[in-house]
């Protein structure tokens, strides 16, 4: 089976992720094919817009192929995953800055690398099954693929909350947080896609969209902001303990499941991305951590516990959110200098 289907359909370029049994997890080859297609269509007058969707199943894209990264880690091949991240990030930047409209149809799970493909598009459509999250801290990574910028731009301090806890957003939540733009029941998607293929009229998306309903995340904003505006993970955990509400206890429980080192570094990265407010800067900030994730971080242990052995009991380096030394956070998020990621390919 072809991992990704790329073709022209009328006035649109079509990209369909096609690994439904693997929740459409991204491989290096898929990222390369997406990048090549976008480059080819950018200057072609007969392509008015790009449509990105996925084969029917449980996910638009549940992330990158982390089992592949784990195998590379076992072989002490750190350069292979680093190359994958660099190429993936370039593709993410291309989507975010593309000169033509890109419509993404985000059914089911859209997480991690799926956010990088689907949520930097100019027109992001969700439906009733859509669940969007950045759960990377749960495997010892941080929100990447430009996700730190999306989190930074979320209202108030939702970004810090979503990025550290990995909370899953429903359609209304995703629109409120800025990860999606339009809600449309999924049964209506084929007709809308056919209209877009015929005329590349992106305004048809807005006219077709319907009300997603109330956002529970929006209702929690007043509880989230005073807690997640605190500077450090330890201070956030302390504020949650003092609060003692059901929401606070639920959130503290979620924080105690993720890698404390990753969550602390995610806070730093999201806030620096907020200050920069630029996709390339955000990707460079993320790459500081991902470059070190296999060699110096907890990614191997997180993947082992969640994906390989599936015991869901990672043995993190630190016992809880209050126990991460500032020096470790600084080391994982420090500039890489000559080793860093750049938008232009140099190899």
Catalytic residues, which ones? 64, 113, 136, 144
CA 265 to chain centroid? 16
The 8-class DSSP code of residue 118 comes to H
At 26, give phi and psi (nearest 5°).
-80, 135
Cross-strand bridge partners of residue 319: none
Q: What distances in angstroms separate CA 340 from CA 82, 286, 289, 336, one per listed residue?
A: 10, 10, 10, 5
CA 107 to chain centroid? 15
Task: For tokens 């002490």, name the residue.
Answer: 76
At 116, give phi and psi (nearest 5°).
-65, -35
Distance CA(259)–CA(315), nearest Å, equals: 9
Distance CA(302)–CA(95), nearest Å, equals: 29
For the record, the structure tokens of 101 come out as: 């409209």
């Amino acid at each position: 089976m072809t991992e990704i289907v790329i073709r022209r359909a009328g006035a649109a370029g079509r990209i369909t992720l096609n690994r439904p049994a693997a929740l459409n997890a991204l491989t290096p080859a898929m990222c390369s094919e997406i990048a090549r297609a976008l480059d080819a269509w950018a200057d072609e007058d007969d392509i008015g817009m790009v449509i990105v969707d996925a084969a029917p199943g449980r996910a638009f894209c549940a992330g990158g192929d982390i089992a592949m990264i784990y195998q590379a880690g076992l072989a002490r091949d750190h350069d292979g995953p680093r190359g994958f991240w660099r190429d993936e990030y370039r593709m993410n930047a291309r989507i975010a800055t593309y000169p033509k409209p890109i419509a993404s149809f985000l059914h089911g799970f859209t997480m991690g690398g799926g956010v990088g493909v689907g949520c930097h598009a100019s027109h992001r459509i969700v439906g009733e099954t859509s669940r969007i999250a950045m759960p990377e801290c749960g495997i010892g990574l941080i929100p990447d693929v430009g996700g730190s910028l999306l989190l930074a731009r979320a209202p108030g301090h939702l970004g810090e909350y979503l990025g550290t806890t990995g909370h899953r957003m429903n359609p209304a939540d995703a629109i409120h947080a800025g990860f999606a733009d339009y809600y449309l029941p999924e049964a209506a998607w084929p007709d809308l896609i056919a209209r877009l293929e015929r005329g590349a009229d992106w305004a048809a998306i807005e006219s077709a969209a319907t009300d997603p309903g109330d956002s529970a995340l929006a209702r929690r904003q007043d509880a989230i902001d005073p807690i997640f505006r605190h500077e450090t993970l330890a201070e956030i955990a302390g504020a949650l303990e003092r609060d003692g509400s059901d929401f606070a206890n639920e959130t503290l429980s979620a924080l105690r499941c993720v890698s404390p080192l990753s969550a602390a570094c995610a806070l730093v990265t999201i806030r620096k991305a907020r200050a920069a407010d630029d996709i390339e800067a955000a990707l460079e900030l993320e790459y500081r951590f991902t470059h070190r994730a296999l060699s110096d971080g907890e990614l191997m242990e997180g993947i082992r516990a969640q994906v390989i052995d599936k015991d869901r009991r990672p043995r993190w380096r630190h016992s809880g959110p209050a126990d991460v030394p500032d020096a470790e956070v600084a080391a994982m998020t420090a500039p890489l200098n000559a080793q860093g990621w750049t938008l232009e390919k140099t190899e």
